[in-house]
Structure 1
Amino acid sequence: MLARTSKNALVQASKQPFRFRGCLFTKQKSRTKFLARPASTVSAPPSPDDADIIANFDFPQSSQISSPLSHTGLFRHSFLTSPLAFTQLADSTLQRAASLTERIINARSSRKELFQVVKNLDRLSDMLCGVIDLAELIRNAHPDRAWIASSEEVYDKLCQFMNILNTHVGLYEVLRTVLSDPEIVKSLNPEAHATALIFWRDFEKSGVNLPPEQRNRFVELSTEILSLGREFLVETSSARPPAAIKPIELQGLKDIGMGARLRLQAKFTQRDLLVYPGSLQAQMIMTSAPQEEPRRKVYMASNASTPQQIETLERLLLARGELAKLVGKDSYAHMTLGDKMAKSPENVQSFLDALMDYTRPYARRALRTLSMRKQAHLNTSPMPIIQAWDRDYYCPPEPPAPPIALPALTLGTVFMGLSRLFRNLYGISLRLSEVAPGEVWHPDVRKLEVVDEKDGTLGWIYADLFARRGKPSGAAHYTVRCSRRVDDDDEVGDLTFLGEDDVASTELSRTFDTAHRSHMPGQQGEYQLPVVVLLCEFTRPTVSRGPTILAWHEVLTLFHEMGHAMHSMIGRTEYQNVSGTRCATDFVELPSILMEHFLTSPTVLSLFDSKSGERVRHAGTHHEDPCRSIDTHSQILLASLDQIYHSPAVLDPLFDSTRALAKLYETRGLIPYVPGTSWQTQFGHLFGYGATYYSYLFDRAIASRVWRNLFSQHPLDRETGERFKSEVLRFGGAKDPWTMVSTLLDAPEMAGGDAEAMAEVGRWKIEDEVALPGRH
């Protein structure tokens, strides 16, 4: 689509998610051999940049770098100082976008203009994405309700305009003229041609060939889907009614302290305990209550749905099915997957079936272990059935742990380790940057400049890492600004379609559009530099407690999100529509998941050491979850459920999402479905990743293969890092991902990306064993 925004990353659905947000091409072999630094220099003293990072993240009160510059606006946009200014920016952008649309529509009147169509379509997309993506960030991160209200208005206004453009016959016909002209097509470099084809497919996917009445219906359905999706997401996080637990049911609780407090509470209140799903008490009961009944009650409460919640989901699924039918597709999955690595729901099923065949024996073995534990605990007949509320009691989830013993890792130390890792692999460092008054939305936000040893500044990362009231939970990567070439924009040509009054009214948009630009050494032209934001919910450092100490799962989270950020930084393309993380949904998680693998290497972990000569201690603190294969099996079922929910079945008037869930678990599940539950209303990824929930498992398999084949033996090898950088990261979405994967893994048989290639990925091992997608 013209505005390619907001892709949410996949994770284990029942845990706190990672989220990813956001709207030259001939292969060349490097002639220079880069080598990893000798082990003796890995644990070098901090460089001045490293020391600044440690001080600023660990002791912000005493070391906040503030700019001597006068007060500015968000992201140093001088005018973006108030919610009203943001609304004015949106209006200015819409007027400028409308005039550029007219210019493209009239391109057939000039041969020169036809050669500019692909570039101008990308500029039009960038105008919209730049404001829409900023609105998406503000409404999720800004603490001021006035800013949030403004961002909601801006987001809705520009998305409506985007939906109209996606079905614009005039734009489509001009692009068809361009792609039908051999001379123009020959003039397009591979990246430009890939961009043109993306626009072409998105136009056709949006029903541009439909009669006017049906095109209008397409826009109506798209708007309805957006509204229902946002309503669905609100409902997924809404509080569930509590479970009523009798004090006697908590006898023998493993957590003696918590159990005593709960029983004491019940004694004084003289009534049943009300335990709310998702609370610490609920988690404690699921892992520690020896009696089955309180665990069953908490499970039932946690997986209950109201009729309204089910209706919202089923209306969303039906609207998607109708949208697909409108454009001549069998299902929403068929409509969605055509431009993904999977290509079709049939190929997705090939992958899931192969992964299921590999996983099932491990999961059954783990289930037998749980059954024997239950038999010994309750003194039952052999092999009692493991119910859904038994899993966490007989195999309590253990928090992730590093493979070796480590000293306490502060937030600043981890960022120093990230900078050192990127320096070893890519010749890229992180450098603390000044923050001008008004530039950020909260005093906690830190700004990092990403610097290449040859090319200079690549872009900026704004890190909003500490929990606060009203801030969304979890972790997320937001693309605020994409890379693209800007020196050949030909803005003078736009003036033809702007009146004198219009030129003045579009000044805000043009000022916004010209920010964050730079000439890149070794590259022709001037580029718009990427800007991304990382959101996390770590504990804020204080004078009394000292620096923020990260738990291991938080280190994993930070590495994951920085994988997205570096993809955005390195994926420098001439067209924003294919830059960085603007790539296929089932490819976008590969760089971020690969980053997690680096944390399994003691060599990489030594980068956290800030004292010269002092190596991290090697000791066996790492543990594997013996039951994670059960959870991986469950993830495969959820990916299958996602396919069912986006199949032709949803168009049947008798379709019942709960019945479909029960049938899937009855036919392919290991743990029985529990009648009376309807967990699907908490499956938030059904909106952001509709028909593509398989992607996280898929990318985990590929990332595991890349790690084992390329990095595991020499994780800091510069030549290998440069290979991954030049063959994958730099292309963004401008190159076929199957081609990139097959080249990287030296597996030409994978290049076609057919059903057999999908099945082959399903047969690859995930990590050392079958792994659980996502982190706690």
Structure 2
Amino acid sequence: MFPSAGRSALTRASKPPFRFRGCLYAKRRASVQLSKSAPRNVPVPPSADDAVIISELDRPSTSYASSPLSPTGLFRHNILTTPIQFKLLADATQRRAEILTERIVRARESREELYKVVKNLDRLSDMLCGVIDLAELIRNTHPDRVWVEHAELVYDQLCQFMNVLNTHTGLYEVLSTVLSDPDIVKSLDAEARETALIFWRDFEKSGVNLPPAQREHFVSLSSEILSIGREFMMESSKPRPPAIIKPMELRGLKDGGMGMRIRLQADATQRDMLVYPGSPQAQMIMTSAPEEEPRRKVYMASNSSTEKQVYLLDRMLQARGEIARLVGKESYAAMALSDKMAKCPENVNHFINALLDHTSPYARRALRALSIRKQAHLNTSPFPIIQAWDRDYYCPPEPPAPPVSLPSLTLGTVFMGLSRLFRALYGVTLRLSDVAPGEAWHKDVKKLEVVDEEQGILGWIYADLFARRGKPSGAAHYTVRCSRRTDHDDVHGDLAFAQDQRDRDAIEIAKSFDSVHRSRIPGRQGVFQLPLVVLVCEFSRPSARSGPTTLAWHEVVTLFHEMGHAMHSMIGRTEYQNVSGTRCATDFVELPSILMEHFLNSPTVLSLFDISGKPIRQVANHHEDPCRSIDTHTQILLAALDQIYHSPAVMQDDFNSTTALAKLYETRGLIPYVPGTSWQTQFGHLFGYGATYYSYLFDRAIASRVWRNLFSHDPLNRETGERFKNEILQHGGAKDPWEMVSTLLNEPGMAGGDAEAMAEVGRWKIEDEVPTRH
């Protein structure tokens, strides 16, 4: 019963398809505190921490001294100094989990134990997620191959064990006993009840109550989906065969550095050119080649598929349909959406249809403008059809730009701005902390304490920010450890179920891993496990020769987005890890991160990048992409395609994903489908997002509404920030997201989250200013 742990927001595809849900206190105050009643529009005063952030993040990294005697283990876990110890920890954790599982299964032998079932299930999930999520981080980021290999072993071992728990009839029966006992249910607070229901729903979605043969088939299908999905992702990322371009087809290629080189190469050799999809040459041709034929060839090459790629996708979709039928659902979408804000496929379609109705007129106007450009270019009759290979030529993509003119933004400056923004809104500051030898996996990793002016340290963000060989591309947010209350754990009670000294030793080893990063929080009862988050990016590294890292605007947007996830993890403070921070509904989890992007549209917020805090008065620099509505329309079609691919249609004998794609474009598309293409095999989100790809558009609409109604007129207002923190961030998945959103926006009619509420969100304006991200 896994939550949304690991990579940024929604990309959890490589984990089990079900969620066994999962996945040092020092009282310190920020150098400068802001009163919650601080006057509006007063510049945020600088603090000593601001200057430290800039100096530390903008200077070249230096190697930390290693200690041959007793280096600190990863994340200050003494047991994690070597890869072999990581495997030993995994073995001890699995044995400890088996012991705790036995305790839960036997809970009906004691009334007192039944009252502890929900807490113990959450503990069981947390102890496994803590190691699995760490393994996921290590296998994706660690530069040492031996560490990676051991992380792969740990990951596969514990995920297999997790799948066993997901279909454990004994655990399900005990939980059913708890939920059918009025006295026990009455003793549970709202958060505990929600946690119990999450476990119960997830057990049922895993087919735990099926007859043995069908349950075995369910497990087999789950393994097949995971295996095929991984292969599908590998195949989708493989390079496509090149387009063969004749030199004469490049006549008139627009001047410019690369364009000139391509033309000179073609003229000099007079040989056909091999242009590989995704290459700079391919991008140049798509945006700059006046002749239509080379653009068409590059498009066809870029959107071709092998038979194997199409087969893998179709089989994955059909296996998902089969698994849904096993648990009594008519489609995978119906199964996947039952615990989301949308609730059912019909409601998703209400949202998509309303959004299409709102967006289509703007997209058609933009398409007509492109048609007029094509008419003038080719001297054709009015309004020629815009083909798929025309879009980038007649409306070349422009890099995103800030709304006002800004000086170059260094990495340290942007992090300073983030810290000052969080201080203004939430009374929370980012503070750099020393990284001990062995605590991080690379010398470039920086450690940030997240410090609340009243509660002290909320948690830690480890920032692995710079590109290096072997490191995955893109940006990601890993939740390595969630917050939860720990003083009610009753670990001593586990020892009664240990069979021998080896069991007791395993419990002690696993306990030593759990016991780090705990704290009492002022103003709250109990001891809490503090969250650990890792932020991974691929920025250029600062150096003595080139100076500090300077971020392009899209990189600033990326950083703000990922830090939105990080702060959700930091501020979320629940008693159960299953509902902590980003462990919430898939179609709700992107709201805080997308909202963070909106703050970059405010000159008031951008003034935080200046350590003097002076308001920015430059002339506006923002330009609106005239084709943005076309791209938004395309994203809506992708969401619609995702629903089709996870509908009952996939169980028909004649189902073909390419045919379904072509039909969607014929009925709802703007730009015609190109016969012979099958770009759905590059739609990697079909694996990770299965039936929930609409979520990003959905949260874009909600975030846009929150920004306009609450923040746009006064983005640094502490009262509004506290309201968002208290209504949204701190609850994670412990409250119904519809209730949270309706309360925040003061729209009580939305609280029920019915079909009309979904359609209403579809009618809300999706922002034009914020770049589309995934």
TM-score by length of 2: 0.95
* Alignment check: 8 A CA contact 1:81 1:438 kept: yes
**Residue number in structure 1 paired with 2:193:** 193
Tell whether 2:752 aligns with 1:747: no
Gaps of 5+ in 1: 12-20, 24-31
**Residue number in structure 2 paired with 1:26:** none
Offset of residue 312 of structure 1: 1.2
Instruction: Write out aligned runs for 1:317-716 (5 A).
Output: 317-499=317-499, 500-610=501-611, 612=612, 614-716=614-716
Amino acid at match of 2:765: K
Distance 1:182 1:733 in 2: 24
Q: Secondary structure at the match of 2:403?
A: coil
Offset of residue 149 of structure 1: 1.5
Offset of residue 96 of structure 1: 0.4
Amino acid at match of 2:773: G
Q: Secondary structure at the match of 2:674?
A: coil
Offset of residue 257 of structure 1: 2.6
Offset of residue 67 of structure 1: 11
* Alignment check: 8 A CA contact 1:69 1:437 kept: no
Distance 2:424 2:39 in 1: 7
* Alignment check: 8 A CA contact 1:570 1:730 kept: yes
**Residue number in structure 1 paired with 2:80:** 80
Offset of residue 505 of structure 1: 2.9
**Residue number in structure 2 paired with 1:266:** 266
* Alignment check: 8 A CA contact 2:76 2:439 kept: yes
Offset of residue 563 of structure 1: 0.2
Q: Secondary structure at the match of 2:724?
A: helix
Q: Secondary structure at the match of 2:457?
A: strand
Q: Secondary structure at the match of 1:450?
A: strand
Q: Deviations over 1:382-422 (max 9, x none)?
A: 00000000001101111111111111100000000000000
Q: Secondary structure at the match of 2:601?
A: coil
Amino acid at match of 2:36: F
**Residue number in structure 1 paired with 2:96:** 96
* Alignment check: 8 A CA contact 1:7 1:585 kept: no
Distance 2:621 2:679 in 1: 35
Offset of residue 457 of structure 1: 0.3
Distance 1:667 1:218 in 2: 35
| Pair 1:256–1:608, CA change in 2 (3 A) | closer
Distance 1:381 1:664 in 2: 28
Offset of residue 2 of structure 1: 5.3
Amino acid at match of 1:34: K
Offset of residue 351 of structure 1: 0.1
Offset of residue 62 of structure 1: 6.5
**Residue number in structure 1 paired with 2:14:** none
Distance 2:184 2:42 in 1: 55
* Alignment check: 8 A CA contact 2:591 2:700 kept: yes
Q: 2:36 aligns with which of 34, 37, 51?
A: 34
Distance 1:7 1:327 in 2: 28
Instruction: Write out aligned runs for 1:737-776 (5 A).
Output: 737-768=737-768, 773-774=772-773
**Residue number in structure 2 paired with 1:175:** 175
* Alignment check: 8 A CA contact 2:275 2:298 kept: yes
Offset of residue 61 of structure 1: 3.6
Q: Secondary structure at the match of 2:551?
A: coil
Q: Secondary structure at the match of 1:461?
A: strand
| Pair 1:439–1:336, CA change in 2 (3 A) | same
Instruction: Write out aligned runs for 1:265-304 (5 A).
Output: 265-304=265-304
Tell whether 2:235 aligns with 1:235: yes
* Alignment check: 8 A CA contact 2:22 2:578 kept: no
* Alignment check: 8 A CA contact 2:254 2:289 kept: yes
**Residue number in structure 1 paired with 2:17:** none
* Alignment check: 8 A CA contact 1:411 1:547 kept: yes
- 4+ residue runs of structure 1 moved beyond 6 angstroms? 62-69
Offset of residue 773 of structure 1: 3.0
* Alignment check: 8 A CA contact 1:2 1:124 kept: no
Distance 2:596 2:458 in 1: 19
Amino acid at match of 1:296: R
Distance 1:617 1:537 in 2: 32
Offset of residue 37 of structure 1: 5.4
Q: Deviations over 1:494-532 (max 9, x none)?
A: 001112221113332211111111111111010000001
* Alignment check: 8 A CA contact 1:22 1:478 kept: no
Q: Secondary structure at the match of 2:294?
A: helix
Q: Deviations over 1:605-654 (max 9, x none)?
A: 000002x3644342121111111100000001000000011111111222
Give identity over the alignment, percent: 75
Amino acid at match of 1:329: K
Distance 2:618 2:265 in 1: 45
Q: Secondary structure at the match of 1:91?
A: helix
* Alignment check: 8 A CA contact 1:101 1:124 kept: yes
Distance 1:708 1:694 in 2: 22
Q: Deviations over 1:550-601 (max 9, x none)?
A: 0110000000000000000000100000000000000000000000000000
Offset of residue 252 of structure 1: 1.3
Offset of residue 254 of structure 1: 1.7
**Residue number in structure 1 paired with 2:26:** none
* Alignment check: 8 A CA contact 1:632 1:772 kept: no
Distance 2:613 2:693 in 1: 45
Amino acid at match of 2:43: T
Offset of residue 68 of structure 1: 13
Instruction: Write out aligned runs for 1:17-56 (5 A).
Output: 23=23, 34-36=36-38, 39=41, 41-42=43-44, 44-45=45-46, 47-56=47-56
Q: Secondary structure at the match of 2:476?
A: strand
Q: Secondary structure at the match of 2:43?
A: helix
* Alignment check: 8 A CA contact 2:465 2:537 kept: yes
Offset of residue 602 of structure 1: 0.5
Q: Secondary structure at the match of 1:508?
A: helix
| Pair 1:405–1:379, CA change in 2 (3 A) | same
**Residue number in structure 2 paired with 1:248:** 248
**Residue number in structure 1 paired with 2:30:** none
Q: Secondary structure at the match of 1:60?
A: coil
* Alignment check: 8 A CA contact 2:62 2:443 kept: no
* Alignment check: 8 A CA contact 2:4 2:10 kept: no
Q: Secondary structure at the match of 2:162?
A: helix
* Alignment check: 8 A CA contact 1:642 1:691 kept: yes
Offset of residue 160 of structure 1: 1.1
Amino acid at match of 1:397: P
Q: Secondary structure at the match of 1:734?
A: coil
Offset of residue 246 of structure 1: 1.4
Amino acid at match of 1:651: M
Distance 1:452 1:532 in 2: 16
**Residue number in structure 2 paired with 1:16:** none
* Alignment check: 8 A CA contact 1:70 1:436 kept: no
Q: Deviations over 1:697-742 (max 9, x none)?
A: 0000000000000000010000000000001100000000000000
Distance 2:239 2:255 in 1: 25
Distance 1:614 1:767 in 2: 27
Distance 1:63 1:717 in 2: 41
**Residue number in structure 1 paired with 2:729:** 729
Q: Secondary structure at the match of 2:638?
A: helix
Gaps of 5+ in 2: 12-20, 24-33
Offset of residue 40 of structure 1: 5.3
**Residue number in structure 2 paired with 1:305:** 305
Q: Secondary structure at the match of 1:41?
A: coil
Q: Secondary structure at the match of 1:449?
A: strand
Offset of residue 10 of structure 1: 6.1
| Pair 1:64–1:452, CA change in 2 (3 A) | farther
Offset of residue 436 of structure 1: 0.7
Offset of residue 8 of structure 1: 5.2
**Residue number in structure 2 paired with 1:28:** none
